[in-house]
């Protein structure tokens, strides 16, 4: 992953040549740039000494979020002289009752963290609801997800508009140096009382009838059984 600036004509030419090359993997870092260098094109590299993370995997994506939660993050999101431009929505401020416990986390607009719940070292995207008594640790929760009461989320990535039922458990192992993530896809339902183990993965649009049982083991993948027109 990198930031590239090209002359348009050069880029058009090299991409077409690469497209027609059956032996190419069609990757900028592996094919395009090396070919430009070996062809003696005018290629320049500019050293960058700031924070950089290639987020091409779920593990590195999760780690980048945890890096931002460190006491002195290398990427300062609050530097008004170096604004990160992104799509935003007009939502009400986050609401945290007096008995909610939130530590070392980022909580976006529109979130609600219920009474006696715990959010630790996590990122809550806009509109996330954490019901009373739920626990979220070292996790990334995407927009408009709902975590019901008694649910425990640890070292997980949960995509947009997913619903985690009461007393469900997703992921584990916050004290384990070997990081193993549980992943839940977009618009999924994790039924009440279900267990999604670390390294298990739930695909998109999964509902209760798609599960074989209440436990999804490590390295197991669950996907919807419904045809596209029913999703």
Predicted confidence (pLDDT) per residue in 16-61, tens digit: 999 999 999 998 888 999 999 999 999 998 888 888 888 889 999 9
Whether residues 11 and 123 share a domain: the answer is no
Nearest to 137 by CA among 93, 91, 175: 175
* Model confidence, pTM: 0.86
Task: Report pLDDT for 224.
Answer: 96
Residues 133, 196 within the same domain: yes
132 shares its domain with 201: yes
> Residue 29: inside a domain, yes or no?
yes
In a domain, 167, yes or no: yes
Q: Tell whether 83 is covered by a domain.
A: no
How many structural domains comprise the chain?
Answer: 2
Q: pLDDT value at position 53? A: 86
Which range of residues forms the domain containing residue 222?
101-230
**Which has the higher per-residue pLDDT, 95 or 74?**
95
* CA-based nearest residue to 62, from 163, 160, 154: 154
* pLDDT mean across residues, the chain: 94
Predicted confidence band at 76 (pLDDT cuts at 50, 70, 90)?
confident
- Express as a percent the part of the chain with pLDDT over 90: 79
Query: Are both 218 and 119 inside the same structural domain?
Result: yes
Kindly state whether residue 51 falls inside one of the protein's structural domains. no
* 125, 223: one domain: yes
| Confidence at residue 84, expressed as pLDDT on a 0 to 100 scale | 84
Q: Is position 190 within any domain?
A: yes
Same domain, 115 and 185: yes
- Name the residue with higher pLDDT: 103 or 83: 103
Q: What CATH number corresponds to the domain at position 145? A: 2.160.10
Question: Residue 1 — pLDDT band, cuts 50, 70, 90?
Answer: low
Concatenated DSSP letters of 86-142: ------PPPB--TT-EEES-EE-TT-EE-TT-EEES-EE-TT-EE-TT-EEES-EE-
Q: What is residue 78's predicted lDDT score, i.e. its pLDDT?
A: 87
Residue 164 included in any domain = yes
């Amino acid at each position: 992953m990198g930031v590239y600036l090209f002359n348009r004509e050069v880029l058009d030419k090299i991409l077409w040549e690469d497209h027609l090359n059956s032996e190419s993997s069609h990757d900028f870092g592996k094919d395009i740039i090396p070919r430009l260098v070996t062809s003696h094109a005018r290629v320049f590299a500019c050293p960058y000494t700031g924070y950089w993370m290639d987020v091409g995997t779920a593990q590195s994506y999760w780690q980048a979020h945890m890096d931002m939660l460190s006491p002195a993050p290398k990427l300062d999101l609050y530097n008004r002289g170096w604004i990160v431009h992104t799509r935003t929505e007009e939502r009400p401020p986050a609401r945290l009752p007096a008995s909610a416990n939130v530590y070392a986390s980022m909580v976006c607009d529109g979130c609600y963290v219920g009474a006696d719940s715990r959010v630790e070292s996590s990122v809550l995207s806009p509109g996330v609801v954490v019901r009373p008594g739920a626990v979220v640790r070292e996790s990334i929760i995407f927009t408009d997800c709902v975590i019901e009461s008694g649910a425990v989320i640890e070292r997980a990535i949960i995509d947009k508009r997913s619903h985690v039922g009461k007393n469900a458990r997703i992921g584990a192992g916050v004290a384990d140096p070997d990081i193993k993530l549980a992943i839940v896809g977009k618009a999924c339902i994790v039924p009440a009382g279900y267990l999604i183990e670390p390294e298990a993965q739930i695909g998109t649009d999964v509902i209760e009838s798609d599960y074989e049982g209440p436990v999804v083991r490590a390295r197991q993948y669950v996907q919807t059984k419904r045809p596209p027109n029913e999703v």
